[in-house]
Structure formats: structure tokens, C-alpha cells
Amino acid sequence: MNEKGQLHTLEGLAAALMITMTVLVISQSTMMVTPQNELAVNVHLEQLSSDALAVIDTADSGSVEHDLTECVSSWNMMEATYPASSLCDLDDELSYLLPGVLYNIELAYFKDQNLNVKKVIINGPPGENSVVVRRFVTITNETVNDAGGGWNLKEDELRVVEVRMTTWKV
């Protein structure tokens, strides 16, 4: 009897099993890494977007022409249509702070016990890896009158407006 033939058969079977296991482990580990990588990109984009709104909201008058409260106060109550935008110079400031990033801006506010959500800047449909950041501003009749907006607030009325910005990478 020739035992060398049986030994070569077992070695070939073990080698095939090792190659199959290696390919399986590599393909499974690649799938685990991909979502984590996309999550890191989304977290980074969310932080950049939130920081951009914060900078515009808290900037002094020397660094930006209009802060976020002034831009919201100046809104003429007309919903934007693609690709036009109509919220003072907020579009220019965001384009400068977020290069290579597309965004849409919506304003959400309560009026007569109803939630109203209006689009004010539209740069296209959001991608699948988009993030949404929010910033609240409070407007008064005085800020609206100073900015020339169309909010029609009563003399002593305060309105809290949520600025929603959906951002995505191109």
C-alpha cells in the first residue's frame, strides 16, 4: 500500500480548506469596516454643518453681513423653488463655510397651533448619506421690521423658529 498518496490528498484538502476560510474571513471583515467608515464621514459632516450654523448665528456684525436671526427675520414668507434661494445672504455665507457640500434650508415654526415647515433654500434632492442639523432662533416684531421681513408678528409676540439644514457631500 502506498501511504504517500493518502498524505498528499489530506494536504491538498487542508490547503483548500485554509484558502476558503481566508477568503471568507477577508470578505466578511471588509463588510464590517465599510459602514463604520461612512458613519465617520456623516459625523464629520454633521459637525461641520452644525458649526457653520453656529458661526453665522453667533458672529459679530464685522465678520458676517447678517447673522442667522436677521436672515430668518428678513424672510419674505415665500417658499423657495429650485435652484433659486431667497434668504438674505445666508446662501453665500454657507457656501463659503461649507465648500464641496450641498445643503437645503427649511424653517419650521408654530402658527395658530399648527406646525409650518417652509423650504427657503433648495440646492437639489439630498443624497442618501445626508445629515440634518438644527438651530433655533427667536424673532420679534422689532427684528422683523428692521430686516424688512414678512412675518406679520404682533407688537409683543415672540416666535421661535427652527432652522433645519440638510447637508450632503457631492
Residue 35 lies in a domain: no
Q: What angle do CA 15, 19, 25 make, to 5 degrees?
A: 140
Residue 19 lies in a domain: no
Query: Can you tell me whether residue 97 is helix, strand or coil?
Result: helix
Residue 162 lies in a domain: yes
Q: Which domain holds residue 108?
A: 44-169
Q: Which tens digit of pLDDT belongs to each residue from 121-148?
A: 888 899 888 999 999 999 999 999 888 8
Structure confidence at residue 169 as a pLDDT band (50, 70, 90): confident
Residue 1 lies in a domain: no
Residue 52 lies in a domain: yes
Report the chain's mean pLDDT, rounded to a whole number: 84
What percent of the residues of the chain are helix, what percent strand, and what percent coil, each to the nearest 5? Answer: 45, 25, 30
Identify the CA nearest to 161 among candidates 50, 84, 70: 70
Provide the pLDDT for residue 83: 63
Residue 135 lies in a domain: yes
Residue 39 lies in a domain: no
Structure confidence at residue 67 as a pLDDT band (50, 70, 90): confident
Residue 79 lies in a domain: yes
Question: Is it the case that residue 33 has pLDDT exceeding 50?
Answer: no
- Going from the C-alpha of 161 to that of each of 50, 104, 140, the distances in angstroms are 16, 16, 11
* Total domains in the fold of the chain: 1
